Chain A
Amino acid sequence: MYVATKGGERAIEAAHQWLAEARRGDPAVPELSIAQIREQMTLAVNRVMAEGSLYDPDLAALAIKQARGDLIEAIFLIRAYRTTLPRFGGALPVETDEMAVTRRISATFKDVPGGQVLGPTFDYTHRLLDFALMADGDAPQAARKPAETQPVPHILQLLDRDGLMEPLTQGEATPPDLTREPLEMPADRPLRLQALARGDEGFVLSMAYSTQRGYGRTHAFVGELRIGTCAVEMEIPELGFAVEIGEIELTECETVNQFTGSKTEPAQFTRGYGLVMGQSERKAISMSLVDRALRWDELGEENTGAPAQDAEFVLYHCDNIQATGFLEHIKLPHYVDFQSELELIRKLRRDAGAETCKEAAE
């Protein structure tokens, strides 16, 4: 005899206990500490901070631990926590000109004021598994050199002086806040950049890649890529001046794109911009390419119908928390909808069957 399924609550509880056990793995193996994740899984921590839109390495490390290393799940945890935080106010724009750079490269000029700094990069490593890492080793030590004292100006500013670069215009309005206003089209550039900055690394990468392969081609040179720490300053109303409230690590990428001019603009170089929290240069470069592709309209370029030129397509689909939630919701019960589809298919088949019989009889 059929008895309707009951006990969803008990099943959920048991599933969560099982999850906790699975998260811990073999108890004979020492447990990961948050500090270990923060220090040794830095780039994962950075990605969670960037796409979670919350700069807190300890919380990001905690989220990664809790999510069993599933970074999208970790980003989700951070986002859900972030929404509950009170807003004290907005910081002043960070001055990336004054960044204490750990890495800074230009693909457009061989030598630049402030120098090229490779920094801690995977570039030029041979991707051979280092089996020595399977054993405990001593902490490696890199060669040291005093930090640069001379200023590290943005390279595109140097081109700017010659008038070859599209001039930067200072927006007047306070940029909209994607997390406090619904995303509506058309989205202006600050809003697009916000969405891209917290967008899924894989999605933004693929969009950028598609422009390189010809879908909305805007050949980009990395004018400058810099990674380092910047001071965050905030105006305190009671004090009447800005004070430094902390430092954050940022990755900034500015691309230079050829532009032959349009009806409204002379031939010049144009810009694509990427700025991401933490060390995340794949994301920053991707972001700057997609940013540039999305600017076709304001530059009077042709819309070739490429996905990366379509702001609505890019912005509505780049958020991995929205995407994964909606994608995974199809595993929830859909008995009712499915039942109505069953009825419909049966009815259509019945009607079609009756029709065929009638034709045969005639």
Chain B
Amino acid sequence: MSEAAYNFAYLDEATKRMIRRALLKGLAIPGYQVPFASREMPMPYGWGTGGVQVTAACLTPEDCLKVIDQGADDTTNAVSIRKFFERTAGVATTEHTAEASVIQTRHRIPEQALTEGQILVYQVPIPEPLRFLEPRESETRRMHALEEYGLMHVKLYEDIARHGAIATSYAYPVKVEGRYVMDPSPIPKFDNPKLGGNAAIQLFGAGREQRIYALPPYTQVVSLDFEDHPFEPSKADHDCDLCGAAQSYLDEVITDDRGGRMFICSDTDFCASRRADGLRGRLSPEEAA
């Protein structure tokens, strides 16, 4: 690819303008899914094309970009997307949450609290929270318009009746400002409490499904639940074996074929920063002399 042949951040300005309009509309109606004319990107649908288009529409040459997948900066697709913007936009990139002005993410919200002025861009596979209850787009749009969310509550209730608990562990539906039920993208429900009252702008891009939605800073976001079955964020009942963090979301790593396993922070920057500060976990490597 000859980078000079493409516009800044790959997309042409008219396309960026179209996306920005959708973003502004999304910010004006938090949680509402705005249809947008998603473009064919040079990476496959389902691999973050929505997030990439939103990021491209937000980036300015002064921005500093962080890309994570599963909380990690070094997962292959995060590497690939970061490289894409290094080549097409030439922006600075970072692995440190605090240094980034734009963070594109798949499946996680960084552990470190975001601040005003930061933008968090989510990659969204299925933007419609009602999709698996009602496959028809024409129906689900009507349900949102009429605020007809009974089906969702029935589903959650049936979960409790059948399993004793709500059997949704990721992409856990939320209600935004008391109006729209929204899919937070497949983040673990552990991350749901970070959606609400967040200082950063949160933007959601679904490329294949041609939808954009948004949460302005400090938006009220409530995970759906019942009074007698309150929402419970959950994580593995361990501390990080590398940095000792007790309150971070953990990946389970299988270390041998005899049931050996360890738990490590899924947010690699969070874990590395803690270790740099001298914090240690159960299985931390010994200090190199």
Contacts and interface: CB of A to CB of B under 8 A. Distances in A.
Which residue among A329, A332, A336 has the maximum number of chain B CB atoms within 10 Å of its CB? Answer: A336
Contacts of A185: 137-138
Given A182-B210, A183-B210, A325-B44, A336 B71 contact: yes
Interface in A314-349: 316, 321-322, 324-329, 332-337, 339-344, 347-348
Given A183-B210, A329-B46, A339 B37 contact: no
Contacts of B92: none
Given A325-B208, A329-B125, A341-B169, A336 B266 contact: yes
Interface in B47-91: 47, 49, 69-71, 74-80, 83
A180 B136 contact: no
A347 B234 contact: yes
A84 interface: yes
A180 B264 contact: no
B45 A337 contact: no
* B83, B188, B211: most-surrounded residue (chain A CB, <10 A): B188
Nearest to A326: B46
A200 to B, nearest CB: 13
Contact of B46 (A181, A325, A348): A325
- The residue among A324, A333, A351 with the most chain B CB atoms within 10 A of its own CB is A333
Contacts of A186: 138
Interface string A69-104: 000000010011011101000000000000000000
B165 A348 contact: yes
B86 to A, nearest CB: 11
A182 B36 contact: yes
Nearest to A343: B234
Contacts of A360: none
Contacts of A347: 165, 234
Given A4-B268, A84-B12, A312-B137, A329 B44 contact: yes
Interface residues of A, number: 53
B74 A327 contact: no
A181 B77 contact: no
B125 A339 contact: no
A2 B187 CA distance: 26
A52 to B, nearest CB: 10
Given A12-B76, A339-B251, A80 B46 contact: no
A292 B194 CA distance: 50
A279 B188 CA distance: 49
A362 interface: no
Q: Is the interface of A mostly helix, strand, loop or mixed?
A: helix
Interface string B82-119: 01000000000000000000000011100000000000
A343 B252 CA distance: 10
A329 B77 CA distance: 10
Contacts of B165: 344, 347-348, 351
B6 interface: yes
Given A80-B42, A325-B46, A339 B77 contact: no
B39 A334 contact: no
Contacts of B236: 339, 342-343
Contact of A12 (B80, B190, B242): B80
A5 interface: yes
Interface string B261-289: 01010101000000000000001010000
Given A312-B137, A326-B125, A340 B234 contact: yes
Contacts, number: 153
A316 B40 contact: no
Given A2-B262, A180-B37, A185-B137, A9 B169 contact: no
A8 B241 CA distance: 23
Given A79-B40, A182-B37, A324-B44, A344 B268 contact: no
B145 interface: no
A342 B252 contact: yes
A282 to B, nearest CB: 24
Interface string A1-41: 11111111101100000000000000000000000000000
A184 interface: yes
A105 to B, nearest CB: 35
B69 A341 contact: no
A8 B76 contact: yes
A11 B170 CA distance: 29
B231 to A, nearest CB: 14
B258 interface: no
A8 B74 contact: yes
Interface of B: 6, 12, 35-42, 44-47, 49, 69-71, 74-80, 83, 106-108, 125, 136-138, 163-165, 167, 169-171, 186-190, 208, 210-211, 234-236, 241-242, 249-253, 255, 262, 264, 266, 268, 283, 285
Give me the 10 closest cross-chain CB pairs, A-B, nearest first. Answer: A325-B45, A329-B46, A325-B44, A340-B169, A326-B46, A182-B210, A340-B188, A182-B35, A344-B169, A8-B79
Given A80-B42, A348-B165, 14 more contacts: A2-B262, A179-B40, A182-B38, A321-B45, A324-B44, A325-B208, A332-B47, A332-B106, A333-B77, A334-B70, A335-B70, A337-B169, A339-B188, A339-B252
Interface of A: 1-9, 11-12, 76, 79-80, 82-84, 86, 179-186, 312, 316, 321-322, 324-329, 332-337, 339-344, 347-348, 351-352, 355
20 contacts: A2-B283, A5-B74, A8-B75, A8-B78, A12-B80, A181-B37, A182-B37, A184-B137, A185-B137, A316-B137, A321-B44, A324-B45, A329-B45, A334-B70, A336-B251, A336-B266, A337-B171, A339-B250, A347-B234, A351-B165
